[in-house]
Amino acid sequence: MPNDIAGVTGSILFGTREQVGVGRGLAEFRAGRPIVVKSRSELLLCLPVEGLDKDRLAAFRALCAPIAPRLVLTSLRARSLGIDADEPVALELMSDVDAGTILTLVADATSDHVFVPEPAGPAAMAAIELIKLAQVLPTVLVAETTAAIVNAYSPSIITVEAGAVARFREKATQSLAIAGEAYVPLSSGVRTRFVVFRDAFGEDPVAVIVGTPDLSKPVPVRIHSACLTGDVFGSRRCDCGDQLKLALARLQEAGGGIILYLAQEGRGVGLANKMRTYKLQDAGLDTVDANTTLGFDDDERDYGVAVRMLQMLGCARIVLLTNNPAKLDGLAKAGIEITGRMPIETPVNSDNRRYLTAKASRAGHQLRHVIASLTPGDDQQEARLVP
């Protein structure tokens, strides 16, 4: 087969070279294996800190030798350790720094270890972005390498282009296609149609169409981030499950609507990291500081996929069921006409009161019922709330 035809055929079957590289890089990071990240000026060997132990650290040091590995942290994690940083930083690791010390540096609320930070280069910054997309701890061990050394590795190590990481979300969104759909009657009596989408990287967002919404008019829409603990098991630590039930009832009352159910557990940090934030919250942090202490933004979600799903469903004007102004802004900027907002106010209990208070006071969620539920004994919390 001529090379040009082979190239076209390969692109159709596997996607572009950069898409394949990013997809494989994500899989490697999720599995805890090293990859190489390449920028114009750097070639870095990168290993996730997730799951690090003494044997994995020793193996990585041997792989990097004679170069000493560095630890790359997000700016938010660096600031939580008292390092003034606006961008990711790299910390040099002496030979006596063990796996336990590294894990303390990346996941504990505090650390008494002192390191001199250096700016992280473009390849290291791309590695941080990729590892956040993989939803594991947003920290990587890195070491400079060369093409000759990379080519000598056996088994071979996946190479990811730094620029391709920056284009990942857009490429994934544009590759979205409908994979399957069927009518699904719910135990609550609501009759729905589940439309399952799939992108080129294997994600499966779902549109739950309630009733028969009139697409010629503004359609009630709920964008719901998956929450295993709340949606499935009824956790009292959040309001997610209650919001989902209320949204279904509201859409049925309205005669129809759409719920977009997205794989954005823990505001986009993933289930394991959500459990880590819970542990930090149990130690005294609120939901915002718990995320940033681990090195994530307060909210890692991107609503481009929601916009694309609505467009593919033929839904251009919506009434959004939300308390979160960021969702309104994100959809409006992407070209979705929002004609109104419907609040989703769910019960406040002793286990989620602090969580909801932080959402209202620090993330700007419009939760006036939370403010109203505060008792005179909640003076400290009430003073922090934004009216």
Q: Which amino acid is residue 215, in one-letter code? A: L
Can you tell me the distance from the alpha carbon of 131 to that of 316, in angstroms, rounded to the nearest whole number? Answer: 33
Other CB atoms within a 10 A radius of the CB of residue 233 amount to: 9
Beta bridge partners of 317: 337
H/E stretch holding 118: strand 117-119
Rounded Cα distance between 263 and 260, Å, is 10
Q: How far apart are CA 302 and CA 282, in angstroms?
A: 27
CB 211 within 8 A of CB 256: yes
HSE of 16, CA atoms in CB hemisphere, 13 A: 11
3-state secondary structure at position 89:
strand
Query: Which among 315, 313, 318 is positioned nearest to 337, based on CA atoms?
Result: 318
User: What are the catalytic residues?
Assistant: 299, 301
Query: CA–CA separation, 81 vs 79, rounded Å?
Result: 5
Helices (H), the chain: 3-14, 17-30, 54-64, 75-80, 99-107, 122-133, 147-152, 162-166, 168-174, 240-253, 265-268, 271-282, 287-293, 304-312, 325-333, 353-362, 368-373, 379-384
Sign of the C-alpha dihedral, residues 159, 162, 163, 169?
positive
Tell me, rounded to whole angstroms, the distance of Cα 78 from its chain centroid: 19
